[in-house]
Amino acid sequence: TPSKEGKMFLRALFDYDPNEDKAIPCKEAGLSFKRGEILQIMSQDDATWWQAKHEEDANPRAGLIPSKHFQERRLALRRPEILVQPLKVSNRKSSGFRRSFRLSRKDKKTNKSMYECKKSNQYDTADVPTYEEVTPYRRQTNEKYRLVVLVGPVGVGLNELKRKLLISDTQHYGVTVPHTTRARRSQESDGVEYIFISKHLFETDVQNNKFIEYGEYKNNYYGTSIDSVRSVLAKNKVCLLDVQPHTVKHLRTLEFKPYVIFIKPPSIERLRETRKNAKIISSRDDQGAAKPFTEEDFQEMIKSAQIMENQYGHLFDKIIINDDLTMAFNELKTTFDKLETETHWIPVSWLH
Ligand code: 5GP
């Protein structure tokens, strides 16, 4: 939009309340904001305190916000635990997947976790989410659709929502076909259930970073390739992908313009009420073996959702609470309609 030219917009990646900020020179002059909100930067003259206003706020009066550098520094010093502890979530995918996750966090030379060996004075401020520069983006009619990434804890109903979307419009929505090294079963066809490839080729593809995620199950590899996302988008479909949230950062490019939706569980009371007679497929390992939800499943779901939100909340474009399935589905549908027709904010870094 020409009217936005020359202006600088940042997406806030943390919540800020000047009243709770001991460092701010004048609390009344501060601007409060929530994670995900868009701020227009009015002045960056001061290295510590920038002046900003809420993007949609017609009142041009700016308030003080901590500068990126200042916020990164003090967050890293105050909350070292966010940097020194690797993520501990119960993974919903295969155990092999879990292993590949851990490997990705390891330092190749020492084979030690980068997080474990980080000294208190070696904070990587890139790990501290503060602000991200964004720009308005609206999909042109002849343009490919954005990749939609669905994340959420085991049992939250993500697969059900995905299935409902797919059957609601099979021409419009698509999912990726995974790769596997296991033998094709008689009723399966190559390229439908799976793309069947050799172990050697799979390993080469892993080396060449062709996979978004992969895992091992019963001595075979399984994984989702980047090209499988491309082929869904090439058919002019919205690609629905559900992955662990840590894989999202590799997909954040102009090509995919991922829109990340977090499917969040309701309160534990609501879980008990609404999922009484429902069943859970606890992981991809026990595919098909659905069991009734236990109290531990509910607690695990809430805990794992909290961890995901704490650690990856800054990557979520939208949070949908799956209390009632129909309502969550309708909200999801509305989100998709808006995504295709309205202006959204995308990181400036995708354009370079
Ligand atoms: P099956 O061989 O019975 O078709 O699938 C067995 C298992 O393969 C699933 O339960 C799941 O653990 C794993 N699997 C299937 N697709 C994928 C995938 O795309 N990525 C990963 N990591 N595992 C998969």
Task: Answer whether 0.95 is exceeded by the pTM.
Answer: no
For the four alpha carbons of 307, 309, 310 and 315, in that order, the dihedral sign comes to: positive
Cα of 99 vs centre of ligand 1, distance in Å, is 14
User: What pLDDT score was predicted for residue 6?
Assistant: 86
Identify the weakest region by mean pLDDT among 123-127, 134-138, 259-263, 346-350: 123-127
The residue behind tokens 């662990």 is 244
Burial of 261 (0-12, 13-18, 19+ CB in 10 A): buried
Atom of ligand 1 nearest to the CA of 97: 22
Cβ atoms within 10 Å, residue 159: 15
Percent of the chain scoring above 70 in pLDDT: 83
Instruction: Kindly tell me if the per-residue pLDDT of 147 is higher than 90.
Output: yes
Quote the tokens at residue 111.
């084979």
The pLDDT tens digits of the residues spanning 75-105 come to 888 765 544 444 444 443 433 333 233 333 3
Using pLDDT thresholds of 50, 70 and 90, give the confidence band for residue 63.
Answer: very high
Retrieve residue 261's tokens.
């939706």
Query: So what's the pLDDT on residue 283?
Result: 58
Q: Is the pLDDT of residue 349 over 50?
A: yes
Pairwise CA distance, residues 131 & 28, whole Å = 22
ipTM above 0.90, yes or no: yes
| Cα separation, 244 vs 260, whole angstroms | 11
SS3 28: helix
For residue 103, the one-letter residue type is L
Residue 178 alpha carbon, nearest atom of ligand 1: 19
Pocket residue to mutate for ligand 1, from 192, 214, 219, 284, most atoms within 8 A of Cβ: 284
What local confidence, expressed as pLDDT, does residue 204 receive?
Answer: 98
Task: Report the pLDDT value the prediction gives residue 61, as an integer from 0 to 100.
Answer: 86
Among 162, 165, 140, smallest CA distance to 151 is for 162
- 106-124, pLDDT tens digit by residue? 334 444 333 333 333 444 4
